[in-house]
Amino acid sequence: MRGSQWAGGARAARLTGLVALLAAILAVAAGCGGSGKKSGGGSSTGNTSVSGSVKFWGIWSATEQKAIQKVIAGFNKQYPNVKVTYTSKGDNIPTILSTAITGGSPPDVADVAQPGLVKQLVQQGHLKPMTYAKSAIDANFTPAWTNLGTINGKIYALLFKASNKSTLWYSVPAFKQAGVSAPKTWSQLLSNAKTIKASGTPAYSLCGSSGWTLTDIFENIYLRMWGAAKYDDLSAHKIKWTDPSVTKAMQYMAKIIGDTSNIVGGTSGALQTDYPTCVDKAFSDPPKAAMVLQGDFVGLEILQATKAKPNTGFNVVPFPAITPGADAKAVETGGDLIVTFKDDPAVEAFVKYLATPQAAEIWAKLGGFGTGNKNVSPSVYPDAITRTTEAPLLGAKSVVFDMSDQQPASFGATTGQGEWGIFQKFLQNPSSISSIQQQLETSASKAYTTGK
């Protein structure tokens, strides 16, 4: 009895010591925090009146997670009393979000890549409008960008991180060997492809196993051919897939995917090549193909997986213009939309901050980031390649979303079925345009009627 009492006493004494130590550490930490606050307050408008916490779920992981943490750190300089906790949920965020909503515990802020999902969440009444941030958003974005996040006349989403899907990447040695220069127009692209084929290298490296890469090519052709307004109508299924405008765009696309001897591995090889293997093929040494018609994300893959160097090994140009005029420079974008499930002052401050050029520039400097923020200067991008791919976004006047991301996912974003699967059939059989259009229309109308 006595012994145990003794031991208990010792434990209690040790505990007291620990508590004292902890208190000391906390005091020091608080002191540091205090001085930090002071220095932050000196340069910018340090706002201590807003306090609270923001639970933020996103798809960014690894390098991107580090980048968003830096953006959040920038926010904390302005609002030291708001604690933003970012958790990476990976690509499964649509499923995770819908499960969390069903379970009654959604995050306060989330970033999602699917405009279709945003629309669905608004219709179900889960999202809060960002009316409070309208002036901040309008001051930094053109109406074309603001519209992307506007549903039923209210802003529900902010496209914080955007990508440029309207780019064409080419192998500089393959182009040099063929003696051609980067194509600016569609007819230059086709005549280049012919010359490249004669030089002994297939012109195109297609990633047919990843269905979205094929729909991306179609979307760029349709956008550059018919313009943003008609593109949006097709996205919303106001234009049917059997429309003559679709026929013409598919005929153009068939000039690329139908030239089987000009595709590395031929049609059947292309169908088994996924993204990013197609990129590795075009930028290997010697190049097995000359061009990859995909978005800005290709650049990162080239740098990570091949030995090709910017300008001497690879380069990038905007997707070739088809119809001259305003829409010749229209940009197809994909990206991460910030949506909110709550609208307390902490969340409001955070959303307003994300709309500022300062927030965007923190990440833009690190690379792998694009934004439509018109007040961001192209000079913040770390290199010439990034500037070529991302500068067209800044203040762009004609911007559309990736089409397949806007449609009901059963049609627009499911492996092996809907748009992805049917465009793979198109790659297999590029002459069957009318049958492909029929299949697309059947699948789309089904998805739009049952997409509740």
Partner 1 sequence: MSGANITAEPPARGAPPSPHAERGRYLTGIVFLLPALVLLAVWLFYPTVYTVIRSFFGHSGYLGAWVGIDNYRNLFTTSTLVTAIKNSAIWVGVVPALVTALGLIFAVLTERVRWVVAFKTAVFLPMAISAFATGVTWRIMYQQDPSQGAINALSRSVSDAFSPAGVLPSALPSTTALQTRAGGLVLKTPLHPGGVALLGLTGIAPQAMPSGAKQAVKPAGKPGAIEGAVWRDFKPGGGKPGVLEQGEQGIPGVTVELKNAAGKVVQTTKTDAAGDFEFTSVPAGSYNAGIGARTFAKPFGGYSWLGPKLITPSLIIAYIWIWAGFAMVVIAAGLSAMPREVLEAARTDGATEWQVFRRVTVPLLAPVLSVVFITMVINVLKVFDIVIALAPDSVQANANVIALAMWRTAFSGQPNFGGGSAIAVFLFVLVIPVLALNIRRFRREI
107 three-state secondary structure: coil
199 three-state secondary structure: coil
Closer CB to partner 1, 227 or 412, in the complex: 412
Residue 324, both tokens: 């001259």
* In 124-185, alpha helices (H): 134-140, 143-148, 172-178
Closer CB to partner 1, 65 or 429, in the complex: 429
Closer CB to partner 1, 78 or 235, in the complex: 235
Give least dist CB 260 to partner 1, A.
Answer: 12
Give least dist CB 23 to partner 1, A.
Answer: 44
Give least dist CB 193 to partner 1, A.
Answer: 12
Residue 415, both tokens: 């492996």
Closer CB to partner 1, 89 or 224, in the complex: 89
AA identity, residue 337: L
* In 110-165, alpha helices (H): 115-123, 134-140, 143-148
Question: 272 with 253: CB under 8 angstroms?
Answer: no
Closer CB to partner 1, 167 or 424, in the complex: 424
Rounded CA-CA distance 46/77 in Å is 7
Give least dist CB 378 to partner 1, A.
Answer: 33
Rounded CA-CA distance 313/307 in Å is 8
Give least dist CB 282 to partner 1, A.
Answer: 14
Give least dist CB 198 to partner 1, A.
Answer: 4
Rounded CA-CA distance 384/215 in Å is 28
Neighbour tally for 371: CB within 10 Å: 27
Handedness of CA 246, 251, 257, 258 (dihedral sign): positive
Q: Measuring CA to CA, which residue among 183, 191, 199, 118 is closest to residue 154?
A: 118
Closer CB to partner 1, 18 or 198, in the complex: 198
Give least dist CB 124 to partner 1, A.
Answer: 8
Question: 347 with 109: CB under 8 angstroms?
Answer: yes
Question: Is there a cis peptide before residue 276, judged by omega within 30 degrees of 0?
Answer: yes
Closer CB to partner 1, 63 or 95, in the complex: 95
Question: Is there a cis peptide before residue 115, judged by omega within 30 degrees of 0?
Answer: no
Give least dist CB 371 to partner 1, A.
Answer: 27
The DSSP annotation for 400-424 comes to EE-HHHHS-HHHHS-TTSHHHHHHH
Give least dist CB 210 to partner 1, A.
Answer: 6
Which residue, chain included where needed, has tokens 């449609």?
407
Closer CB to partner 1, 40 or 258, in the complex: 258
Closer CB to partner 1, 178 or 221, in the complex: 178
Q: Measuring CA to CA, which residue among 132, 96, 167 is closest to residue 316?
A: 167
21 three-state secondary structure: helix
Give least dist CB 350 to partner 1, A.
Answer: 27
**Residues that bind partner 1 in the complex, under the rule CB under 8 A:** 94-95, 98, 102, 116-117, 120, 124, 176-180, 195, 197-201, 208-211, 261, 265-266, 268-269, 271-272, 274, 286, 408-410, 412-417, 420-421, 424, 428, 450-452
Closer CB to partner 1, 188 or 410, in the complex: 410
Residue 6, both tokens: 């003794």
